[in-house]
Amino acid sequence: MEEEKSSSPRTTTTTHIALVSIPALSHQVSILEFAKRLLNLHHNHHHFHVTCIIPTLPSQNNNTFFFDSLPPNIHCIFLPPVNFDDLRNDSSMSLEAQLSLAISRSLPSIREALNTLNSTTNNNLVALVVDAIAHEALHFGKDLKNKNKPLSSYIYFACSAMLLSLCLHSRKLDQIVPCEYRDYPNLIQIPGCISVHGKDLPNSVQDRSSLAYKLYLRRCKDYFLADGILVNSFIEMEQGAFQSFLSQSQEEVIIPPVYAIGPITQTSGGRNNNNGWECLQWLDNQPPKSVLYVSFGSGGTLSQEQINELALGLELSGHRFLWANVREPNDKACASYLSGDGAEPLSFLPEGFTERTKEKGLVLGSWVPQIEVLGHGSVGAFLSHCGWNSVLESVVKGVPMIAWPLFAEQRTNAAMVTDSLRVALRPNNDNNNGVVLKEEIADIIKRLMEGSEGEEIRRRMEKLKDLAGCAFMEDGSSTKTLSKLALIWKSMAP
């Protein structure tokens, strides 16, 4: 049934936690980094064992370096790939719908893995924690018994508290807003957060007649069934959102306990390929805070026209840059999210660009150790797709941002970092068929890297960095919350 990584679960008495992730590396990294945080709590790391069940897709390449580097008391089970042959020619299905369908088709294997795990852990399996997109697996906790009681079941919400607030408010919004959200003339009010334009809500809500929207509403409804929701954020960054969960529970609906356990980020990007070494060595030779790091994440893609404009804008700005994960052009922003890298990226760049910028720029077509890049003293800013992992990594390292969202919830994240936290600038792509032109790209780079506006943003990001560091100190807010969870789970063990 399954392919196993790491060692087998211990037979000694431990508190055992089961995780269920989704076929997306960014989500897998986040939930497993959470597991590492749990194990590393100073007073209980010898008492926990974690097993993570991971559905897979046929086209997926697992990052073996990350999984091979996990500690021995984290055990991963990779399920057999789901069959998507019937959807091979369906280009209309959104990313969110594909991931949800992958989980639905993996449910029998997930159930079998959980039953096997529960029968072989000496009844020490005390809690089930499922990725927010794997919400259907939440119901399995009711079938698994610990001390003749249903297993405690939790949602791991790998995104912001702002997005969770939107999800928990979704049914009410669905009744209030009479049209497509993007066409709504008023701002969308999200409890405890800034109000946003409808166009900045996640992709999954942008077509209310679509399968993706129906799945989104079903997912949000299931969140209320959880015994708790673990959010990868911290109170000091999203105080209003976390406060709103308490007030809504008192006034409108009963929201499960919400635990702020972030910022959970990858602790090391690793240096297991030549590009990882090359980019860090290149950064070693650049002046402090002089480099703009450009990356659209593990799957973001740009059109050929936008690649041209971005390249020429970087050149026009006159600033140093490291552009990583450059991929084959595609008009679908998430084209590479569920598949491997395409052809040689340098062939898609404007003619002569690489030669003209070789003294100031480095372009790479594959993975780089992002957490180490952001922590490098030469990096002064981050042009990012605003995936939540990247946002948190930028916060943890104190690097101001240019917000360039592509798909999923990235526009909502961009609105937060730009308009609420004010640690980012955002280019305008309302004109020119959504293409950001080279002149605006050059201008926004200069605004962030030079002058008083960039300095103010940098100061705010430094303050946020300090707050993020405090959250995981021994008496920090997130450490206390995670310790509280650990004590709850340990109390359930025999």
Quickly tell me which residue has 């840059």 as its tokens.
321
Instruction: Give CA–CA dist 361/279, Å, rounded.
Output: 10
Q: Hey, where are the domains in the chain?
A: 3-262+472-492, 274-470
pLDDT at 11 over 50: no
Apex CA 63: angle with CA 120 and CA 269, to 5°?
110
pLDDT (0 to 100) of residue 9? 45
**Is the pLDDT higher at 303 or at 269?**
303
Q: What CATH number matches the domain at 3-262+472-492, 3.40.718.10, 2.60.120.260, 3.40.50.2000, 3.40.50.880? A: 3.40.50.2000
pLDDT (0 to 100) of residue 52? 98
- Distance, C-alpha 310 to centroid of its chain: 24
Across 47-60, average pLDDT: 89
Instruction: Encode pLDDT of 203-221 as tens digits.
Output: 999 999 999 999 999 999 9
In angstroms, what CA-CA distances link 41 with 13, 46, 47? Answer: 18, 9, 10
Average pLDDT value over all residues in the chain = 89
pLDDT (0 to 100) of residue 182? 96
Identity of the residue numbered 392: L
Instruction: Encode pLDDT of 464-478 as tens digits.
Output: 999 999 999 999 999
pLDDT (0 to 100) of residue 447? 98
Return all residues near 149 (Cβ < 8 A) that are at least 6 apart. Answer: none
pLDDT at 95 over 80: no
pLDDT (0 to 100) of residue 43? 57
Across 347-366, average pLDDT: 94
pLDDT (0 to 100) of residue 494? 72
pLDDT at 369 over 50: yes
Annotated catalytic residue 27 = yes
Q: Which of 16, 49, 75, 131 is catalytic?
A: 131
Instruction: Give CA–CA dist 64/436, Å, rounded.
Output: 36
pLDDT (0 to 100) of residue 63? 63
Instruction: Give CA–CA dist 37/31, Å, rounded.
Output: 10
Instruction: Encode pLDDT of 62-89 as tens digits.
Output: 667 789 989 999 999 999 998 877 766 6
Most confident by average pLDDT, 201-215, 258-272, 327-341: 201-215
Instruction: Encode pLDDT of 272-298 as tens digits.
Output: 545 567 899 999 999 999 999 999 997
**Is the pLDDT higher at 325 or at 445?**
445
Strands 48-56, 145-146: pairing kind: unpaired
Instruction: Encode pLDDT of 33-50 as tens digits.
Output: 999 999 998 655 558 999
Backbone angles phi, psi at 465, to 5 degrees: -60, -45
pLDDT (0 to 100) of residue 484? 95
Query: Residue 157: helix, strand or coil by DSSP?
Result: strand
pLDDT (0 to 100) of residue 97? 80
pLDDT (0 to 100) of residue 278? 87
pLDDT (0 to 100) of residue 429? 80
Return all residues near 183 (Cβ < 8 A) that are at least 6 apart. Answer: 198
CATH class of 274-470: alpha beta
pLDDT at 7 over 50: no
The share of the chain scoring above pLDDT 70, in percent, equals: 88
**Is the bond preceding 23 in cis, omega lying within 30 degrees of 0?**
no
Annotated catalytic residue 284 = no
pLDDT (0 to 100) of residue 467? 98
The share of the chain scoring above pLDDT 90, in percent, equals: 72
Q: Which of 27, 49, 169, 319 is catalytic?
A: 27
Instruction: Give CA–CA dist 372/352, Å, rounded.
Output: 30
pLDDT (0 to 100) of residue 8? 47
Instruction: Give CA–CA dist 358/178, Å, rounded.
Output: 53
In angstroms, what CA-CA distances link 345 with 5, 176, 235? Answer: 32, 46, 40
Instruction: Give CA–CA dist 404/415, Å, rounded.
Output: 10
pLDDT (0 to 100) of residue 93? 75
pLDDT at 250 over 60: no
Instruction: Give CA–CA dist 288/308, Å, rounded.
Output: 28
**Is the pLDDT higher at 57 or at 208?**
208
pLDDT (0 to 100) of residue 303? 94
Across 240-248, average pLDDT: 91
Q: Is there a common fold for 3-262+472-492 and 274-470?
A: yes
**Count of beta carbons in the 10 Å neighbourhood of residue 94:** 21
pLDDT (0 to 100) of residue 207? 95
Contact yes or no for 288/377 (Cβ under 8 A): yes
Contact yes or no for 233/183 (Cβ under 8 A): no
pLDDT (0 to 100) of residue 10? 42
Query: Residue 346: helix, strand or coil by DSSP?
Result: helix
pLDDT (0 to 100) of residue 75? 95
